[in-house]
Structure 1
């Protein structure tokens, strides 16, 4: 986790980020746990300032909208984490490949599948 985020969070597990601080979210892969907040993913993705971040432009952000997976991550128990990991690995893999592609476009290419959220390697 970037030092700046650690400093901003202090001893809390959640904190607010003001619009002028959004650059702190411009990381390799960003995971949003929003399953308990209907419409949050759409609101975040539509924010004009958020859309300026490379992580958003490159599609390296992952929105966990499933409330069960969000809950599994939030609770973080030995019983819930395997389910969360199983659900997230494919999404994180795509985001990580996009990160690699952002650094070196010759590494991999993706095309959108018939489902908006699915990608396949070319």
Structure 2
């Protein structure tokens, strides 16, 4: 199974989500093909929309702009920070998606635990 397929499954954007899927710890840009990078970019552009009811428009614009320009690490970092700073509640599914995105980008996931439950 390719890295992109793992990422899409973990984000709930492709097929069933097996509980034991492992994500590579290598940075995606170094291991992904152009098509896989495009698919990750699409997934990263959609992710902020799940939180549009809890974040200000300016924060969403910054997050979306970073994702659109391929700065996925910056986009997910801005998203998690905005949620944290707004004390925005995050449900279990959203928490899992954020954790999966961070893991797929080889970023630490511990900040997700500090987000309030929904």
TM-score w.r.t. the length of structure 2 is 0.28
Larger Rg: 1
Between Structure 1 and Structure 2, the one with more strand by share is 1
Higher relative contact order (CA 8 A, sep 6+): 2
Name whichever structure is richer in helix by fraction.
2
Normalised by the size of structure 1, how large is the TM-score? Answer: 0.27
